Amino acid sequence: MSLSDCVKCWETPCVCGHEYKNYGTSDKIELLRAILKTCSDQEFQEICKEILSVDFDEDHVIEIQYKE
């Protein structure tokens, strides 16, 4: 355990969201940008498919809906 462990999930970085719930929009954008800029296009598509209901054709996102 370190001082940065999340008090809810005990992971570093937090994977349950608790550590980020009080982040402002710009802080969330900065965090997501830091993660996403490490992704290849294929990883980005895989992430979107896992988190969102999203369809891609060869080169384009054709539909995005947030999963419940």
**Residues lying near Zn ion in the complex (CB under 5 A):** 6, 8-9, 14, 16, 18
Smallest separation (angstroms) from Zn ion to the CB of 18:
4
Smallest separation (angstroms) from Zn ion to the CB of 7:
8
Smallest separation (angstroms) from Zn ion to the CB of 51:
17
CB-wise, 9 or 31, nearer to Zn ion? 9
| CA atoms 9, 48, 25, 4: torsion sign | positive
CB-wise, 17 or 55, nearer to Zn ion? 17
